[in-house]
Structure 1
Amino acid sequence: MGHHTFDAAHADRLEDAARRYRYCSREELLGALALHGTESVADLGSGTGFYTDDVAPDAAHVHAVDVQEAMHDYYRAKGHPENVALTTADVADLPFADDAIDAAYATMTFHEFASAESLADVARVCRDGATFVVVDWSAAGDGEDGPPLTERYDADDAATMLSDSGFDVERADERVETFVAVATR
């Protein structure tokens, strides 16, 4: 399952606010993260920085992590907030110290990196009590938008994977075409 990477040649599609917010609004993401403004946050699969820009005003520092340098090139050209650092890395090999991250999130990218190795590395870099929010395309969806159903996980699969990686899952809910999972390290 999974591990499909979005084609950076179509990065401009990731800036369509009406389409993106249909599946995860700024308010929903910020509400789930419950930031206080002092946190170091990791956006896992940041792409063009669409959601990074939403989170940056509410965090001390945001690491925009993407495996594709082309996505960071797009974000640089667009312009990013001063408290955002662009980090080119695979989620299975995050370049952060143990317990360095206060919160992390993945919006529509979990299916691209979900594996025991990746989630173990997310757990490693997250401090105790850190929140990890996942919003992604669901295998329970109809496949009208997003990656093929065969590349997706459902809320129960994600909850199990998060739990197996040392996270306490607070909720994992199916929605129209997507799921949301909120967990604590």
Structure 2
Amino acid sequence: MGFHTFPIDRADALEDPSRYRFCSREELIAALELDDGAAVADLGSGTGFYADDVAPFVETLYAVDVQPEMHDLYREKELPDAVETVTADVSALPFDDDHLDGAYSVMTHHEYASEAAFAELARVLRSGGRLVTVDWSADGPGDDGPSVDERFGLEAVTDQLEEAGFSIELAHNRPETLFVVARR
């Protein structure tokens, strides 16, 4: 897989409510199993589409993105009080060990997937913390999202996470995407 970023000139597509057909707000929040005092990271937050949904349910939501321009666009929308933007690669998160209660990525796993990123997630998530991954599946038809050759299959994603020390609680394919809940 080649690393790439989402084109800034197409960032308005990240605000399209039809994205909920791949992962709803309720599904994501339920999978995270968080309490009001939680610290959570949105990995590849973009313009904050899902961060806006999760922020009311946590104390701190770190909107992590490698593109500072995405944070600029998010700020134009007005950040919720709980949100802090973090410009960083998932393989080099600026958090202390065991800092996060949870983390999630929606349609970005294929962009940061590496041994270094998974090791970093294992470092910053507390014991028992959940990592929710929703991404385009290599097992899908490729009608939406990136080309199938840029995606991982469900088995590859669960293998990546297990090798980094996560236990898989839920993993299934859907028509175009995969959904994985892992616990550190």
TM-score normalised per structure 1: 0.98
Distance in 1, matches of 2:118 and 2:5, equals 17
**Counterpart for residue 16 of structure 2:** 16
**Counterpart for residue 151 of structure 2:** 152
CA deviations over 1:66-95 (Å, ceiling 9, x no partner):
000110010000111011000000000000
4+ residue runs of structure 1 moved beyond 3 angstroms?
none
**Counterpart for residue 31 of structure 2:** 32
**Counterpart for residue 101 of structure 1:** 100
Percent identity of the aligned residues? 54
Q: Secondary structure at the match of 1:106?
A: strand
**Counterpart for residue 48 of structure 2:** 49
**Counterpart for residue 91 of structure 2:** 92
Q: Secondary structure at the match of 2:13?
A: helix
Distance in 2, matches of 1:36 and 1:96, equals 20
Q: Secondary structure at the match of 1:72?
A: helix
Distance in 1, matches of 2:21 and 2:86, equals 27
- Aligned-residue offset at 1:154: 1.2
Q: Identify unmatched segments of 5+ residues in structure 2.
A: none
Distance in 2, matches of 1:36 and 1:86, equals 21
Say what the alpha-carbon RMSD is for the aligned residues. Answer: 0.8
**Counterpart for residue 130 of structure 1:** 129
CA contact (8 A) 1:2 1:152 kept: no
CA deviations over 1:124-182 (Å, ceiling 9, x no partner):
10010000000000001111111111110111111000000110011110001000000
Distance in 2, matches of 1:141 and 1:96, equals 34
CA contact (8 A) 1:65 1:88 kept: yes
TM-score normalised per structure 2: 0.98
User: Aligned AA for 2:32?
Assistant: L
Aligned length: 184
**Counterpart for residue 178 of structure 1:** 177
Distance in 1, matches of 2:7 and 2:147, equals 14
Distance in 2, matches of 1:11 and 1:67, equals 14
Distance in 2, matches of 1:99 and 1:150, equals 34
CA contact (8 A) 2:46 2:65 kept: yes
- Aligned-residue offset at 1:2: 4.5
**Counterpart for residue 116 of structure 1:** 115
Distance in 2, matches of 1:66 and 1:87, equals 6
